[in-house]
Amino acid sequence: MATNIILTPGTAKSIDGHVDRVLKDLGHPEPPLCLADVRELLRLDLQYYSSTNVGWLQEKIHQLRVAGKQVLARPWLMLDVVKKLDLKALVIPDRKRILLDADQPPPKQRWNETHEIIHDLLPWHAGASLGDKQRTLSLSCHSQIECEANYGAGRLLFLGQRFRDELAEAGSVDFDTVKQLKKTFGNSLTTTLWRIVENSDGPALGLVSIHPHTSPAPGESPVRYFIRSPQFATRFPAVNELALFARIRTFCYGNRGPIGSSEIILTDGRGEAHEFLLECFHNHHDTLTLGSYQRAHATVVSLTRTSGLK
């Protein structure tokens, strides 16, 4: 299980500045973002390789070697890295080139490409990362540099402030909001859920887990990601994702689509109780849970009046 890392305000502001400059130079485009336009602006080239076709991959790396750049002076080492580390995407700074694994599904390719664009865009990432595998391309990674690339990818794919404005216009947030913003910005349900929680001004949470009616593989957590808004992380530091998953199991039904919703009570760091609405949606691969704040929990005190006879 991975819990999202919340960047320091200074780091987030710096990444926002680089992303906002790109969006400004693109003329503040309408969603969904066209990544080809981003690559053209940044003068980045995109090529695909197949991790299941070694011969094809060797030919592509040979072509890059012919270009004569030092990073590819020994192409067989690059092939070894790609295969042994199971890399899904690479950015080659000397060639301003991004390589993507063509065997990945389109939504993952879109995320992976944007992740590599951010590596190239942020000046302090120069030379720090050449390739990313499934773990580092996941939506939550405990490596600082990968966390920064993921944050920047989310800001770019969801058009920076444009997403916050759309979220504010939506008013109350529920899973219908997730589906609508997914459609508007052309990204996956999971990344949309992540951005909604990440951009929430109040306490909000998200879970990406296995189906509540199934069991995890031995040694694995049933929860892949536990997503917290900044205010939730501050106010509810002791909330346990496994306890949340156990609660989800008590009210979920069905196999796909909306599978259940319920209000639950969570206790904050001051010992005060608050009510959250949990909505669960299964997309065939994962169960996505959105937890939205409802209200402070009213404590009912029962007073018993007794009287006696003299």
Residues 144 and 181 occupy one common structural domain: no
Asked whether residue 217 is assigned to any structural domain, the reply reads yes
Residues 228 and 277 occupy one common structural domain: yes
| CATH number assigned to the domain comprising residue 30 | 1.10.10.2910
Residues 25 and 147 occupy one common structural domain: yes
% of residues, the chain, pLDDT over 90 = 62
Residue 39 has pLDDT above 80, yes or no: yes
Residues 119 and 135 occupy one common structural domain: yes
Residue 280 has pLDDT above 70, yes or no: yes
Residue 167 has a pLDDT of 94
* Average pLDDT over all residues of the chain: 84
Give the predicted TM-score (pTM) of the model: 0.83
Residues 124 and 198 occupy one common structural domain: no
Domain range for residue 83? Answer: 7-157
Residue 305 has a pLDDT of 53
Residues 113 and 16 occupy one common structural domain: yes
Rounded Cα–Cα distance for residues 293 and 10 (Å): 27
Question: SS3 for 195?
Answer: helix
Number of structural domains found in the chain: 2
Residues 120 and 184 occupy one common structural domain: no
Asked whether residue 2 is assigned to any structural domain, the reply reads no
- The predicted-structure confidence for 287-297, as pLDDT tens digits, reads as follows 999 999 999 99
Rounded Cα–Cα distance for residues 162 and 240 (Å): 32
Last residue in a domain, options 130, 157, 184: 157
84-88, 109-113, 294-298: least confidently modelled range:
84-88
Distances in Å between the Cα of 31 and the Cα atoms of 7, 35, 140, 157, 181 are 25, 11, 24, 9, 10
Q: What is the b/e burial string over 220-235, where b = at least 16 CB atoms within 10 angstroms of the residue's CB? A: eebbbbbbbbbebbeb
Strongest mean pLDDT among 37-51, 105-119, 280-294: 280-294
Task: Check residues 76 and 115 and name the one with the higher pLDDT.
Answer: 115
| Bridge partners of residue 260, in order along the sequence | 280
